[in-house]
Structure 1
């Protein structure tokens, strides 16, 4: 299972909910989740914020799914 799908299901979000939170079209998100498309930097950033994790976790650079401490609220 992809990390995107894992985090989405962990939070009980639907793909439509993720679309509403990030502005990423549901069909594009589905392709990202199923590995048929790569994330852009901006998509990865939006998804990390929406799913409460780090970009490094989504990119597979760490196995720790906790978000980094932020010095200010990032939107």
Structure 2
């Protein structure tokens, strides 16, 4: 039995990178919700922009999770 250490390292690096990216996008979504909730102290369009930002970020996170499930579950292919 032989282990391809290069492939294992690549998989680990991509996994860490995608994890950090999803957490960053989710954080931006939470920031958008915070801006939408704090609309009284922000400019007039901040509430709408914050909700749009949050929606897009959470949609992107859901897409990444759905793609991961698609890759794992063989019945979906």
Structure 2 length normalisation: TM-score? 0.24
**Structure with the larger helix share:** 2
Larger radius of gyration: 2
Structure 1 length normalisation: TM-score? 0.25
